[in-house]
């Protein structure tokens, strides 16, 4: 029988997951869409035949005979859904970040470890993107010598309301905080933040862009340009500097058109298009694994690790200094998984 999924949060990402599961994923159906904004819930549910709408997750849990939940609310609202979902034994796909604070991430992994096995997969979709996977293989192969540094550009067209300076780290750079150790194969040990001249188009005095320097154990340095009011589109690229070569991912693979005295290529408007293929693979693998009582992607442990680095990053924004990253916990045996995409 198909996995009975609730999608919690019917914003851009939640609505996208509803149509993804309905139209492109096999082995799952959306039976509940949860959002306190009834109009939004109804609009998202319209694409999924048979889905009912609920104002609160508890109502869906009581009514809809759920097997699984996708959580696509803002990060600070993940824990109040994850904890009851764990208690109900559901398969969980939580969008990034797992949570916005280390304390909350710790509560989540503690609660999860009371179960027999990991139930939570975290929506770090870049781990399913072809470019990142190829880069990770290239690093492992050693074909170009050792990896020395990464230039990462993370550009968004504009920021949503309520977006704050710390969100640059906890909501946006959290992706690089996850992918850098994934590519390099070792943890991040320090974070430093530099703030160039402010983009006057950034709303509410937001100090945007920023440069976030992530350093790994062996000294690989990732320089992340987080730049979230670029106006022109959604662009995420990485250039990897090796001892004997440079590799680049994320440049547009679309048609190049010369016309009217200029050469042009389109830019994806949002993360939905840039990472659409990665999301499809992520959700299909999550569904297939859930049928077997497993996860197949980054775990809550990866979510916890990222929250520790993000904490140091927010501190570095305030202090202007290089801040060390200290992980209070060793990886519990509970989180040893067979997924090639988990840490």
Closest CB to ligand INS among residues 191, 226: 226
Rounded to a whole number of angstroms, the distance between the first and last alpha carbons of the chain is 31
* Distances from the Cα of 311 to the Cα of 152, 184, 206, 293, angstroms: 20, 21, 19, 32
Candidates 23-31, 37-45, 171-179, 323-331 — which segment interacts with ligand INS by CB under 6 A? 171-179
Closest CB to ligand INS among residues 171, 296: 171
Examine residue 335 and tell whether it contacts ligand INS (CB under 6 A): no
Kindly write out the interface string for residues 213-232 of this chain, putting x where it contacts ligand INS by CB under 6 A and - elsewhere: ---------------x----
Shortest distance in whole angstroms from residue 119 CB to ligand INS: 22
User: Do residues 168 and 210 touch, judged by C-beta distance below 8 A?
Assistant: yes
Kindly write out the interface string for residues 83-102 of this chain, putting x where it contacts ligand INS by CB under 6 A and - elsewhere: -------------x------
Shortest distance in whole angstroms from residue 111 CB to ligand INS: 24
To which residue do tokens 């996995």 refer? 3
# residues contacting ligand INS (CB under 6 A) = 7
Q: Which of 271, 286, 301, 335 touches ligand INS by CB under 6 A?
A: 271
Q: And the tokens for 123? A: 């929506």
* Bridge partner list, 122: 94
Residue 60 is inside which H or E element, if any?
helix 57-63
Residue 110 is inside which H or E element, if any?
helix 102-112
Shortest distance in whole angstroms from residue 118 CB to ligand INS: 22
For residue 35, the 8-state DSSP code is: -
Examine residue 176 and tell whether it contacts ligand INS (CB under 6 A): no
User: Do residues 302 and 122 touch, judged by C-beta distance below 8 A?
Assistant: yes
| Burial environment of residue 330 by CB neighbours within 10 A (0 to 12, 13 to 18, 19 or more) | exposed
Candidates 112-120, 167-175, 254-262, 277-285 — which segment interacts with ligand INS by CB under 6 A? 167-175
Candidates 51-59, 81-89, 168-176, 205-213 — which segment interacts with ligand INS by CB under 6 A? 168-176
Residue numbers at the binding site for ligand INS (CB under 6 A): 96, 156, 171-172, 175, 228, 271
């Amino acid at each position: 029988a198909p996995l009975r999924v609730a999608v919690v949060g019917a914003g851009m990402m939640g609505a996208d997951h509803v149509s993804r599961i309905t139209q492109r994923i096999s082995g799952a159906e959306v039976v509940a869409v949860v959002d306190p904004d009834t109009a939004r819930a109804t609009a998202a549910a319209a694409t999924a035949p048979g889905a009912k709408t609920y104002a609160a997750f508890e109502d869906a849990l009581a009514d809809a005979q759920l097997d699984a939940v996708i959580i696509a609310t803002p990060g600070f609202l993940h824990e109040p859904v994850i904890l009851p979902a764990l208690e109900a034994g559901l398969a969980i796909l939580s969008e990034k970040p797992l949570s916005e604070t280390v304390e909350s991430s710790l509560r989540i992994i503690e609660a999860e470890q009371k179960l027999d096995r990991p139930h939570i997969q975290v929506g770090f979709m870049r781990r399913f993107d072809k470019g990142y996977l190829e880069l990770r293989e290239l690093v492992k192969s050693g074909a170009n010598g050792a990896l020395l540094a990464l230039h990462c550009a993370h550009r968004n067209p504009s920021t949503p309301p309520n977006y704050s300076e710390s969100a640059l780290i906890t909501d946006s750079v959290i992706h690089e905080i996850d992918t850098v150790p994934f590519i390099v194969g070792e943890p991040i040990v320090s974070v430093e933040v530099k703030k160039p001249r402010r983009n006057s188009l950034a709303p509410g005095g937001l100090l945007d862009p920023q440069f976030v320097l992530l350093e790994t154990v062996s000294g690989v340095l990732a320089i992340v340009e987080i730049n979230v009011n670029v106006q022109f589109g959604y662009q995420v690229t990485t250039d990897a500097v090796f001892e004997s070569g440079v590799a680049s991912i994320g440049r547009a693979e679309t048609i190049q058109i010369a016309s009217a005295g200029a050469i042009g290529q389109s830019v994806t408007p949002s993360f939905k298009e840039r990472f659409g293929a990665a999301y499809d693979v992520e959700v299909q693998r999550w569904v297939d694994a859930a049928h077997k009582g497993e996860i197949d992607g980054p775990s809550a442990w990866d979510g916890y690790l990222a929250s520790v680095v993000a904490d140091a990053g927010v501190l570095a924004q305030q202090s202007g200094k290089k801040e060390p990253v200290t992980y209070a916990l060793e990886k519990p045996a509970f989180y040893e998984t067979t997924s090639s995409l988990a840490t």
